[in-house]
Amino acid sequence: MRFKDRVHAGSLLCSELTYLKGRDVLVLAIARGGVVVGDVIAECIDAMLDVIVPRKIGSPFNPELALGAVMHDGKCYINEHIARMLNVEQDYIKSAKEEMMREGTRMLMAYRGSTDYNIEGRSVVLVDDGIATGATVLVSIAWCREHKPASITLAVPVMPRETYEVMKAQVDNIAVLLLPIEFGAVGEFYDDFGPVSDYDVISILSKYKGKSSRR
């Protein structure tokens, strides 16, 4: 199976989530690509859509290798195995974390005008367009748990099979379409995996401004 684009992937995920329709559901989409997938899901199950911005902390000499990730408010996940293997200094982690926190806050203010969330007691569907290392999703789950949702369902089109076992232990429910054994990058499972802009995110979120929300 391949996905035409993020909209196609979201539409296929909908069939796994229809049981949530009618509940107090908040779709939390990871920016930026997850917002496109989340939009399709939110419309399908008649839910509110909101955005979160976990930021990857890259390794010192290879920014593409995720050392961990951090939320705007400082909630952080560090892959200690990678940190030890690369002998990463704590000063580097502290500096990178602070930089990414500032960037996350800037993005949230641009997208939604606030860094406040009301998640307690709601059924959360955490959405991304795919998972590679899993750092941003793991910190998103941990952050979400601190806000006391009724449940967390992770919904993604594709992730490595080995990552599935890690994620399954972290959430209440999980919806995934592809679990390849051989995995290089999320984009290889899409025909169109073009960049999603800030404008795209803001435009999608604007559709939900008039809907009732507890945010």
Structural domain boundaries of the chain? 6-54+117-206, 56-110
- Cα–Cα dist 103/99, whole Å: 6
Tens of pLDDT along the chain (215 residues) come to 899 999 999 999 999 999 999 999 999 999 999 999 999 999 999 999 999 999 999 999 898 899 999 999 999 999 999 999 999 999 999 999 999 999 999 999 999 999 999 999 999 999 999 999 899 999 999 999 999 999 999 999 999 999 999 999 999 999 999 999 999 999 999 999 999 999 999 999 999 987 754 43
24 strand-pairing partners: none
Read off the tokens for 29. 């989409």
Q: Which CATH class is domain 6-54+117-206?
A: alpha beta
- Cα–Cα dist 77/200, whole Å: 28
Q: Give pLDDT, residue 211.
A: 73
Q: Give pLDDT, residue 215.
A: 39
Q: Give pLDDT, residue 108.
A: 98
Read off the tokens for 10. 């979201």
As to burial, measured by CB atoms within 10 angstroms (0-12 exposed, 13-18 middle, 19+ buried), residue 60 is middle
Contact 125, 26 (CB under 8 A): yes
- Cα–Cα dist 89/83, whole Å: 8
Contact 133, 62 (CB under 8 A): no
Read off the tokens for 69. 């990730």
Q: Give pLDDT, residue 96.
A: 97
Instruction: Supply the pTM of this predicted model.
Output: 0.95
Q: Give pLDDT, residue 1.
A: 87
Phi, psi of 119 (to 5 degrees): -115, -20
Side chain identity at residue 209, one-letter code:
K
As to burial, measured by CB atoms within 10 angstroms (0-12 exposed, 13-18 middle, 19+ buried), residue 143 is buried
Q: Give pLDDT, residue 214.
A: 44
Q: First CA to last CA across the chain, in angstroms?
A: 37
- Cα–Cα dist 30/38, whole Å: 8
Q: Give pLDDT, residue 212.
A: 56
